[in-house]
Amino acid sequence: MEGKRVVVGVAGGIAAFKVAGFVSQLAQRGADVRVIMTRSATQFVTPLTFQTLSRNHVAVDTFDEKDPSVVSHIDLADHADLFVIAPATANIIAKMAHGLADDMLTTTLLATQAPVMVAPAMNVHMYQNPVVQENMDRLRQAGYRLIEPGSGQLACGYVGQGRMEEPENLAAAVEAFFRETPDLSGKRFLVTAGPTREPIDPVRYLSNRSSGKMGYAVAEAAASKGADVLLVSGPTELSAPAGVRRVEVTTAEQMYQTVIGEMDEADVIVKTAAVADYRPVNPAESKIKKNEENMVLELEKTTDIAEVIGKRKKHQFFVGFAAETDRVAKYAQEKLSRKNMDLIVANDVSRPGAGFDGDTNIVTVWDKEGEALSLPQTSKREVARRLVALIGERLHGHR
């Protein structure tokens, strides 16, 4: 964990005393640990405890700006490679689930782009309360990773589920997180994203509902691990993620030309784009007038870019996506083998919370041997991080 930057958010529960051991273990393993405490947390453990264990100043008050050259909650939010909330009380979980930002911890959390682990700790009945469970579901769907509490004797006297995970297990989860995505420095990723637009006339086109969010998240996740990322993007409203080179295209043909021109340089190709399968045969040069009651538009097939990549690829690790509405596993596995992919990410786009446009997805990843990863509804950014982790893992054994 040498040099990894972990921000630990401590909320006001008795399990705060166990977090001292967790912070100590992170620091001993070489992590750069910063602690943010809520005011209630300071009733259980003093900031001095965490300052001594982490060797860093502990933040409690949003307005305690020690360094005038930065805004401290944004600085801490940007600093983190990983955020861990421990103990996560019912109160902090509710605030996070609803986007409240009324203290240093919640304000920093809203501003961070880093993955967040949440280690709940509370009374068993609070934990089972449907409102708390609903809030935790919201966090899971937003891509937060929940570390389920264990069962046993609780500090309040009850026996049941609600004990925060033990410090050594929390430290092991953090270590596993950093191991999960190897460093991708020196690897070149070619990622496609968004829809294509196929002109009918100068003012109309055929397209689809892809927003580009899934592909941009993949590009961002790969770049955050040090990869050199080229993003070939159809028309979207999104800005290019930091450190990612973007080439903008409009039609399937332009995407094809760009991808084929760049593929030899790539180590990994991820085809997230929703490329049009058909385009008008003869796009009109001037706007089509509505003279007839019915109109027939003749379409022709576009080039299947993925199929061409599958045929031409040499050393490249090739990942495709499959947007299906039925028989998802069957159709995805057929595409995997027909297009000679190494992995295919299948999303059932008929399910609420999956597929086009939204911020979340539900995916199953297949390789030639079978299922490689399955994720319940979670944010596209978290799907992208887990996918990039899987690609990183596979790259080591890939020639």
Q: Which residues are annotated as a binding site?
A: 277, 287, 321, 335, 339
* Residue 77 to residue 63: CA distance in whole angstroms: 15
What residue numbers does the annotated binding site for CTP cover?
277, 287, 321, 335, 339
359 lies in the binding site for ligand PMT (CB under 6 A) = no
Active-site residue, 156 included? yes
Piece in contact with ligand PMT (CB under 6 A), picked from 67-75, 208-216, 281-289, 385-393: 208-216
Residue 281 in tokens: 């045969």
181 lies in the binding site for ligand PMT (CB under 6 A) = no
* Residue 374 to residue 366: CA distance in whole angstroms: 9
Between CA 195 and CA 202, with CA 201 as vertex, the angle to 5 degrees is: 85
Piece in contact with ligand PMT (CB under 6 A), picked from 32-40, 63-71, 163-171, 267-275: 267-275
**Near ligand PMT by CB under 6 A: residue from 190, 306, 362, 372:** 306
378 lies in the binding site for ligand PMT (CB under 6 A) = no
97-123 exposure pattern, b = at least 16 Cβ within 10 A, e = fewer: beeebebbbbbbbebbebbbbbbbbbb
349 lies in the binding site for ligand PMT (CB under 6 A) = yes
* Residue 199 to residue 286: CA distance in whole angstroms: 11
Name the residue nearer to ligand PMT (CB basis): 18 or 386. 386
Residue 245 beta carbon to ligand PMT: minimum distance, rounded to whole angstroms: 19
Report yes or no: 31 and 42 within 8 Å, Cβ to Cβ.
Answer: no
- Residues that contact ligand PMT, how many (by CB under 6 A): 29
**Near ligand PMT by CB under 6 A: residue from 347, 364, 377, 378:** 347
For residues 308-337, which are near ligand PMT according to CB under 6 A?
A: 320-323, 335
Q: 130's torsion region: left (phi>0), alpha (psi -120 to 50) or beta? A: alpha
Report yes or no: 74 and 46 within 8 Å, Cβ to Cβ.
Answer: no
Residue found by looking up tokens 């899971």 in the block: 140
For residues 37-66, which are near ligand PMT according to CB under 6 A?
A: none
The residue ranges that bind ligand PMT (CB under 6 A) are 194, 210-215, 252, 271-275, 277, 302, 304-306, 320-323, 335, 347, 349, 355-357, 380
Active site residues: 156
